[in-house]
Amino acid sequence: MIRSAFASFVITAILLVLVVGIVLVPIAMSLPDPLAVLDTFVFGPFRNPRHTGNIIEMATPAMMCGLAVAVMFRAGMFNLGVEGAFFLGGLATVATVLLVPLPAFAMAPVGILVGAVVGSSVCAVPGYLRARYDASELVSSLMLNFAALFIGLFVVNYFLRDPAAGAMVSFKIPAEAKLPKLITGTRIHLGTLIALAACGLGAVYLFMTRAGFEARIVGSNPSFAAHLGLPIRSILLRSQVIGGLIAAGAGGIEMLGLYQRFSWQSLPGNGWTGVVVAILARDNPILLIPAALFLSYLQVGGDLIARNFDVPSEAVGLIQALVLIVVTAQAIMRNPRLIRLVAGKKPAASPAQETKAVEGSVA
């Protein structure tokens, strides 16, 4: 079993290298110095502490959004409200630290908590509609994302906007509310440790608690869950609320960790990244960490070659799309012959061969 799992990992790694090579090599060959392009993409993110820090900064919200998606996917819910929850959670966090008089030590935790509760509504409402009326959570959550966006822009414009800023941005976030930086010379902040802890707690919830076990049963076999008498509706709604709290909390952490003001004029895209991360990690909270770091590494490497060479930034999006298609291709990743080949196992004998072998041993 361990060899099979390792074989699956090796297949994934080989396919990822092939996908990156298939997209990047032709682009590099069209430029005057292709080796420099490949060198910058592969090793550039690790030559400068600031660029390495960028990988971790970008992976922080990806880990938490991926965890939110994984919790809901495990319960069999395809909710896309993580994007709107992230946006609304960030806005509610900033509004709390700006408008509510709080002592300095309570600004960040209270702001993130309020942001998590407010933002989670984007995931909780589709969950309730699915549990109560069997409405498709895919459609309702997708629509709610845009409702959250325009409600947020209205709040920023009429309640939080700084008239002296010259753009539709909020007043400055108080310095007392900002999350502390962890490493000098980078923007890595306390939120990274929170994201790592959240992934660990997510693994404990899904694989070591009764609630997580029930959610996985409902997600993998709803008929069996109904036969067991599990409260399916409440389990579905609970998974939606937990996922929404995580995603919205990630928005608040992102705001207090990296931003000076609330300045998002559109959906930031971290929720969509979380969907990709969750799929890459097979909805495993621990595997979310390397999956988020890998996608962030691709993004930073792509940004470097886009800035230093005549390479379109869309090439990184193309690589991510191909990675997602290949990794989710069940015919490749779960092909028994390919797994046996990589694991070094002999092909399984056919029934006729087994019969002959038995007859030979008896004779």
pLDDT at 362: 40
**Who contacts 342 (Cβ-Cβ below 8 Å, separation ≥6)?**
7, 10, 11
Q: Find, among 305, 349, 329, the residue nearest to 33 by Cα.
A: 305
Q: Using CA atoms, how far apart are residues 51 and 299, in angstroms rounded to an integer?
A: 11
pLDDT at 26: 82
pLDDT at 360: 47
Please, are residues 115 and 259 in contact by the beta-carbon 8 Å criterion?
A: no
Tracing tokens 């608040």 back to the chain, one arrives at 252
Q: For the chain, which residues score pLDDT lower than 50?
A: 1-2, 351, 354-355, 357-358, 360-363
pLDDT at 358: 44
Please, are residues 84 and 148 in contact by the beta-carbon 8 Å criterion?
A: yes
pLDDT at 357: 47
Q: Using CA atoms, how far apart are residues 334 and 329, in angstroms rounded to an integer?
A: 8
pLDDT at 32: 82
Q: Find, among 316, 299, 309, 319, the residue nearest to 33 by Cα.
A: 309
pLDDT at 343: 60
